[in-house]
Amino acid sequence: MVLKLKQMVFLLLKVLLGSLDFAKKLGALCDKDKIIVNSKMETNIKGLLACGDCTGGLLQVAKAVHEGAIAGLTAIKL
Ligand SMILES: Cc1cc2nc3c(=O)[nH]c(=O)nc-3n(C[C@H](O)[C@H](O)[C@H](O)COP(=O)(O)OP(=O)(O)OC[C@H]3O[C@@H](n4cnc5c(N)ncnc54)[C@H](O)[C@@H]3O)c2cc1C
């Protein structure tokens, strides 16, 4: 499966750099130690998604997996 460049952003955010530092460098809106996302896991930057502990709230696996699934569905529509 070949991912589009925009879809890769989702993966890069989690893998390449610490997600919070990376998001801040890109200009994503953050509130202290969490990245601000909407219900689709989108940040204020088009094509940049975030999920899991970096978005704050419950720091639990179930929440991270839930948000990851939503972010994945959003990414394939980019
Ligand atoms: C000790 C402990 C016990 C826990 N117990 C539970 C529990 O019982 N039940 C539960 O639901 N939750 C538990 N949690 C919380 C749970 O682990 C997290 O909520 C969940 O792992 C968050 O998933 P995530 O994908 O957002 O982040 P993570 O699982 O932290 O994944 C982030 C990944 O990014 C990598 N990474 C970071 N920076 C870089 C970089 N610069 N370059 C490359 N890779 C990088 C990290 O190595 C890591 O693999 C526990 C946490 C801790 C610390």
Q: Which pTM value belongs to this model? A: 0.84
Nearest to 55 by CA among 30, 22, 18: 30
- Ligand 1: residue of 10, 13, 14, 20 to mutate (most ligand atoms within 8 A of CB) is 14
The one-letter amino acid at 66: H
In the chain, pLDDT over 90 holds for what percent of residues?
62
Chain segment 14-45, per-residue pLDDT in tens = 554 577 888 888 899 999 889 999 999 999 99
**Does the C-beta of 65 come closer than 6 Å to ligand 1?**
no
**Three-class DSSP category at 62:** helix
Which domains, ranges and CATH numbers included, belong to the chain? 5-75 (3.50.50.60)
What tokens appear for 71 in the block?
A: 């972010």
Predicted local confidence at residue 78, as pLDDT: 86
